[in-house]
A and B are shown apart, each in its own frame.
Chain A
């Protein structure tokens, strides 16, 4: 039976740093799954398919789904689908769950987004291995260096100041103060936050390496909607896009060009005509704070170069009419695949009226985004809408 796909249950685990994490990857995933199933009012015996993400090249195992799935207590012969697209793996999980449900292949899909970074000693060196071997790996770049290209070009093109970036990062840490699942909050001292990491990125603008897991129950609206006992979040658009492999393919580092292409497709699918006025809440993948400005512009939420002005006017803060990253975003919590799914998870709980962070009253439609790969090659977008059943 084909049906709309809805998120009916969300399970978060508390985030911390990998060296302080006391639970194994399997235990974290089991905890997140238990919470998601309980939230959805669903029994694990009802699950048709479990989709589990990983980034094998960053981890101490290959295809972690093979060892995580048996720890989840699912019935024998439940189909396990391992997905890895790098930095967008987590964003793909609900999107693919929606595809399976819309096709009638499944009625209840469990999405499991594990912690990814609990193994590497030098994560930047590991991330370097996803760069082109001949052209870019020898330059020694890690994620933070790739991440600095974009705000540097953005500053040069639009005259945005370091102070604008710092204001943005501070806004997100203050948002994280209200999110019990966030890792970094405004407890980060100003002295630490100001340390330069890779120009123009300062420590306070750069995501931590976090540990935690998130699970979602995605189901057919007519099947799971009534079970949850609370509003659910319908997935009205699920898109992804790939740019070319080489960083040089980006052409213009002052924008995320391909996001504009993806956004048009997502808005067409979800029948969004004026994104600025039609979204009540937005979560954009921002491992480096300035990306939030650039992504807002690529998603058509404001003119190019206009995002800092919205921040200064309070539009994107809590209480503004377009709150962005009320969870604190990835800048404050980045456990890898779990970080990538977190924008969808936070938007879903906002639309259910059960926000983990501060609730936007009456929120009915939201946008979630994730990105990753070398020089942010991949992006996903998910549009969600509240459904009262």
Chain B
């Protein structure tokens, strides 16, 4: 029997240089907004899960600062070092197992650096990514998450499976679409994407995820407790998770959608999706480069999905708040469900700690309520 679990509230805040709030204050503000959105008081929360990294937060055990601000004070709490979607799955386990009735998940990516411009955030993320790779084999050859994306895109262009001009056009369309929602980049043309500084050949800066800072929170609840909330937002009908191979296994480059396919199989089976392209109203992808998009869509069995239903928010090339990305994709999906007046939507989230290498992929199926 599928557990009866819901998203009952959410909040998102993109963080810029203009903020005068400290990290814990940002987390407190965002979690408070999510609780208000849910109509739930802090003392009702039984489990607080944060997603963050010490090296972004410039202190060891950084969850010591953020957990109390995320409703973790005197509460059962945990920090997951991965995309916030993994934290969300851990919270779902607490609910499904009956340990708690309400849980909150906070995704935190506000690098403690002098400025939060896209290049500065990406520079730090890449630096941390280097430290996440194996110290003996991968770091010395300069592996970072962006490098894996460049290697993949170059291989696909070389094999005739992608064209640079098509990647630029797809990117421009996404960034422009996102500019009307929570995107951090202004609308652009395909020519501007193609002419942007080269980041990791053949990918230009604008083809990489739009590195940003942000904090998100969702409030989750189980069964009757959820349905009695003022405005339950979505039922979580299915979920699945899988981790991609490490560098020693060439599968990370040859078939970067394989982990997605494993996660999708589990999630769709739970949700009863047997003809997903016909049943799914929208999908938010974490396709970290435009050269990946088709492979991820195929892995999700969504090849037949109409273009307007894919990455309505603009996706990761419109706004990519690092480790908090999974929550942004959920928040954007909640908006998609509201726009559609219900239906079924899919969230695809994957961490970018090592790019395509060892990435944990989570697939969620949400139903509007």
In this assembly, does B97 line the interface, its C-beta being within 8 Å of a C-beta of chain A?
yes
Say yes or no: is A85 at the interface (Cβ < 8 Å to chain B): yes
A-facing mask of B268-303, CB < 8 A → 1, else 0? Answer: 000000000000000000000000000000000000
User: Bound complex: CA of A61 vs CA of B132, how far in Å?
Assistant: 6
Provide the bound-state CA to CA distance between A63 and B52, in Å: 11
B54 (CB) vs chain A CBs: closest residue:
A57
Indicate which residue in A62, A66, A133 contacts B54 across the interface (CB closer than 8 Å): A62
The yes or no answer to B243 lying at the interface (CB within 8 A) is: yes
Give complex CA distance A132, B65 in Å.
Answer: 8
Let me know if A242 is at the binding interface, CB within 8 A: yes
Contacting residues of chain A (208-263) with chain B, CB-CB under 8 angstroms: 238-245, 258, 261
CB-CB under 8 A from A258, the residues of chain B are: 74
B342 at the interface (CB under 8 A from A): no
- Within the complex, the shortest CB–CB distance from B215 to chain A, in Å, comes to 17
B131: chain A residues at CB < 8 Å are 60-62
A124 within 8 A of B: no
Contacting residues of chain A (107-152) with chain B, CB-CB under 8 angstroms:
126-127, 129-130, 132-133
Give the size range of B's interface with the partner: 35 or more
Are B243's CB and A77's CB within 8 A? yes
Cβ B78 vs Cβ A83 within 8 A: yes
State whether A240 touches B97 (Cβ < 8 A): no
Contacts of A78 in B (CB 8 A): 242-243
Give the chain A neighbours of B61 by CB distance below 8 A: 55, 57, 84-87, 130, 372-374
Q: Could you tell me the distance in whole angstroms from the C-beta of B10 to the nearest C-beta in chain A?
A: 22
CA distance A353 to B64 in the complex (A): 37
- Interchain nearest-CB distance for A140 vs B (Å): 15
**From residue B127, how far is it (CB to closest CB) to chain A in Å?**
10
Q: Which residues of A contact B75 (CB under 8 A)?
A: 241-242
Known contacts: A130-B60, A239-B76. The answer to whether A103 contacts B243 by CB under 8 A is no
Assess whether B82 is in contact with A82, with CB atoms less than 8 Å apart. yes
* Complex CA–CA separation, A375 to B54 (angstroms): 18
How far is it, in angstroms, between the C-alpha of A129 and the C-alpha of B62 when the chains are bound? Answer: 9
B134 at the interface (CB under 8 A from A): yes
B135 at the interface (CB under 8 A from A): yes
Q: How far is the CB of B335 from chain A (nearest CB, A)?
A: 27
A377 surroundings in chain B (CB, below 8 A) = 64
At the interface, yes or no: A70 with Cβ under 8 Å from chain B? yes
- In the bound assembly, the distance between CA atoms of A99 and B103 in angstroms comes to 13
B80 touches A77 (CB 8 A): no
Q: Is A69 an interface residue (CB 8 A)?
A: yes
User: Which residue of chain B lies nearest to A134 when distances are taken between CB atoms in the complex?
Assistant: B22
Complex-state Cα separation, A103 to B73, whole angstroms: 24
> What CA separation (Å) do A211 and B132 show in the bound complex?
21
Residues of B within 8 A of A154 (CB): none
Of residues 96 through 111 on chain B, the ones whose CB sits less than 8 Å from some CB of chain A are 96-99
Q: Does the CB pair B60–A67 fall under 8 Å?
A: no
Given that A57-B55, A63-B82 are contacting pairs, would A77 and B242 also be in contact in the complex, using a CB cutoff of 8 Å?
A: yes
> 1/0 per residue B67-80: CB within 8 Å of A?
11000111111111
Determine if A242 and B67 form an interchain contact, defined as CB atoms under 8 angstroms apart. Answer: yes
Verify B63–A84 contact, CB threshold 8 A: yes
Beta-carbon contact of A69 and B358 below 8 Å: yes
CB within 8 A of B72: which of A62, A67, A242, A261?
A242
Q: Contacts A79-B360, A80-B358, A81-B86: A57 and B96 contacting too (C-beta < 8 A)?
A: no
**Beyond A80-B358, A242-B68, is A92–B60 a contact (Cβ under 8 Å)?**
no
Q: Is the Cβ of A85 less than 8 Å from the Cβ of B73?
A: no
Contact of A158 with B by CB under 8 A = no
Which residues of the partner chain A approach B68 to less than 8 Å between Cβ atoms? Answer: 242-245
Residues of chain B with a CB closer than 8 A to A245's CB = 24, 64-65, 68
**A-B contacts, 13 listed (Cβ < 8 Å):** A65-B81, A67-B135, A69-B243, A70-B249, A77-B243, A81-B86, A84-B63, A96-B90, A99-B93, A99-B97, A102-B98, A105-B89, A241-B75
